[in-house]
Copies of this chain bind each other. A is one copy, B any other.
Amino acid sequence: MNHNDAIRLFAKMLQNVEKWMDKAAAHAKAKSFEVDVLAQARLAPDAYPFVRQVQAACDQAKFAAAYLGGKQPPAHPDTEQTFAELRQRIQKCLSFLETVQAKDLAGAEDRKVAPPWLGGKWLRADDYLMHVAIPNFFFHATMTYAILRHNGVELGKMDYVGSLPTKEG
């Protein structure tokens, strides 16, 4: 596993999120409610709603790709309110991830990563990936899934994991 693999993994998971949203839309249709109701659903009164969980998952992937690849992160304002807008947000994020390729990420291990919230301190790029990007990305992806699951959308573990590059023989 290397930095490029991690960015591709984030991209795959964001595509999985879109498929969970498809299932949420089908569930809403079957139950005759507006799917965008789920955009504001949350697991606790002071926890992020679905819309913010998707935005945060996208941001974790975007900032990881930018910091690890030595690129400027594009601004993606958190203005989305609907499932349709969230799909566009995911697509914007995926498009940026595509611009950060293996050659940009090669040898990034020791690059210094100093996001503003560290207040002047920094992390080695490897540490940023392991202690910040991966845990936080999967936190928000899983919370996205959990909110839908809690609201009755029929999702199973294979929807979460998505396709696997299995081999035979």
Residues of A at the B interface (CB closer than 8 Å) are: 1-3, 5-6, 9, 12-13, 43-44, 47, 109, 118, 120-124, 126-127, 129-132, 134-136, 138-139, 142-143, 145-146, 149-150, 152, 157, 160-162, 164-168
Please measure, in the bound complex, the distance between the C-alpha atom of A127 and the C-alpha atom of B1, giving whole angstroms: 8
Measured between beta carbons, the chain B residues less than 8 angstroms from A126 are 1, 5
Pairs A–B under 8 Å by Cβ, sample size 9: A1-B3, A120-B168, A121-B168, A124-B165, A131-B164, A132-B164, A135-B138, A139-B160, A142-B146
Please measure, in the bound complex, the distance between the C-alpha atom of A21 and the C-alpha atom of B23, giving whole angstroms: 33
Measured between beta carbons, the chain B residues less than 8 angstroms from A167 are 121-124
Closest 5 CB pairs of A and B: A138-B138, A142-B142, A121-B166, A43-B150, A127-B165
Considering only CB atoms, which chain B residue lies closest to A146 in the complex? Answer: B146
Considering only CB atoms, which chain B residue lies closest to A129 in the complex? Answer: B1
Query: Which of B118, B120, B165 makes the CB contact (< 8 A) with A123?
Result: B165
Contact A43 B43 (CB under 8 A): yes
Measured between beta carbons, the chain B residues less than 8 angstroms from A47 are 149
Contact A122 B166 (CB under 8 A): yes
Considering only CB atoms, which chain B residue lies closest to A136 in the complex? Answer: B161
Contact A160 B135, CB 8 Å, known A5-B130, A167-B124: yes
Measured between beta carbons, the chain B residues less than 8 angstroms from A118 are 166
Measured between beta carbons, the chain B residues less than 8 angstroms from A130 are 1, 5-6, 9
Considering only CB atoms, which chain B residue lies closest to A42 in the complex? Answer: B150
Please measure, in the bound complex, the distance between the C-alpha atom of A30 and the C-alpha atom of B131, giving whole angstroms: 32
